[in-house]
Amino acid sequence: MEAITLIDQSVCPGDVVLDVSTIANHTIKLGGGLRQDGDVISVTKSGTLRFSNPNKYWVQISQKRYVPQQKDSVLGIVVDSRSDNFLVDIKGPALAFLPVLAFEGGTRRNIPKFEIGTLLYVRVVKANPGMNPELSCTDASGKAAEFGALKDGYMFECTTGLSRMLLSSPTCPVLDALGKKLSFEIAVGLNGRVWVNAASPHTTIIVANAVMNSETLSGAQQRIMVEKLLQKIQ
């Protein structure tokens, strides 16, 4: 069975999704949940086979457990404040540390003040087994970029598979369809947390509901679902 017939279908470990010997002059990219043995591409984790143009395949895994990885962008919740760092819940096995100087231009004179419960968009800079992950509110060049506190809006939790789908390139269908009709901000963490903010609470709820409903739908189904949601509010 060719991969094209399995896209957006449930797959299990051992399933063969593609025989590359049948593909002429075509390079493919493999994401998580797939591996290549000789000419055969097979599944290593249960989930839904996904494809994005021009040539990437991966298995979207529906799990709520998050294992921190270096360079991941995540949504964290401040649970404690200490002299040298903030303790942040990122849904991992252990709390993460956010050093008080891990901000653009961070010095002892301009340490940020975060109340417990503050939602942050942060980057994982260290993730070693058996140790608490370390976070930063800067990108690789030391700039704040999009990182920092997320104010107002609505945060909800989802599976890590849905997070990866929302962050896929090109823009996933549900966000593309919503973005053509509605104005909103969204921050997606690879740890299975999503933050949405819009001018009206009504719009925020519509976007959040559409995103939560999209996980098991194909791209075409996501667009239809968004259209139906928008028709109800017009």
Domain coordinates in residue numbering, the chain = 3-60, 73-149, 154-233
Give yes or no for a contact between 98 and 86, defined as CB atoms under 8 angstroms apart.
yes
CA distance 157 to 159: 7
CATH of 73-149, one of 3.40.600.10, 3.40.50.300, 2.40.50.90, 2.40.50.140: 2.40.50.140
- Residue 21: how many CA atoms within 13 Å on its side-chain side? 4
- Look up residue 213 and give its two tokens: 């409903």
Tokens for 164? 């990866």
Check for a shared fold between 3-60 and 154-233. no
Q: Is residue 45 helix, strand or coil?
A: coil
Q: What is the pTM of this model?
A: 0.76
| Structural tokens at position 149 | 């506190």
Q: What is the mean pLDDT of each run of 10 residues along the chain (234 residues)?
A: 70 86 76 86 85 81 79 96 94 94 83 92 93 94 91 93 87 94 96 96 94 89 93 76
Domain spanning 3-60, CATH class: mainly beta
CA 164/CA 181 separation, integer angstroms: 23
CATH fold label, 154-233: Ribosomal Protein S8; Chain: A, domain 1 (3.30.1370)
The reported pLDDT for the residue numbered 63 is: 65
Fill in the amino acid letter for 152.
D
- At 3 the pLDDT is 59
| Helices and strands, counts by H and E, the chain | 5, 16
List the alpha helices (DSSP H) in the chain.
3-6, 160-166, 173-181, 201-213, 219-233
